[in-house]
Amino acid sequence: MNNMYYRYVGRRLNGTDIRFKGIFEIFTPDERRKWSSCLATPKWYSEHPGVETEAWFTQHGYDKWHGKMDAIINDFLDAYGRNNYEVHLLRVETLNNIVSKGKTQCIVRV
């Protein structure tokens, strides 16, 4: 099987901004803190502020973390309403414009 890249995205189903965003953008600070001991913020972000990017899990990162991610997403949807949010897992075989690639995640300029 080819290596894949994975990105969780979500959106509010009501309100003024219903665009899909990276899952960490819709999580509350508490949900984001649950990841602080697992995933370090790549140094690239601090060196390139204001650059529009997307973060993707590598195959290794997805294999390692999808169980925890799925559990946190389900807890989030249970707490804030499955009728209020839509969440998807995107899968692709290749990425364009990779600016940083680690073992667990990579960053793509959009």
Backbone angles phi, psi at 101, to 5 degrees: -135, 120
Dig out the tokens for 27 from the structure. 């999580």
* pLDDT tens sequence for the chain (110 residues): 568 999 999 999 988 888 999 998 888 888 888 777 777 788 898 899 999 999 999 999 999 999 999 998 999 999 998 999 999 999 999 999 999 999 999 999 99
Give 55's strand partners. 107
Give the pLDDT of residue 8: 96
What amino acid occupies position 8? Y
Predicted confidence at residue 2, as pLDDT, reads 66
DSSP of 34-82, one letter per residue? TTTTT-PPPHHHHHSTT--EEEEE-HHHHHHHHHHHHHHHHHHHHHH-T
pLDDT of residue 43: 86
Domain span including residue 13: 5-109
| Residue 60 contacts residue 104 (beta carbons within 8 Å) | yes
Q: Whole-angstrom Cα distance, residue 26 to residue 32?
A: 9
Query: d(Cα 12, Cα 94) in Å, to the nearest integer?
Result: 28
pTM: 0.89
Q: How many domains does the chain have?
A: 1
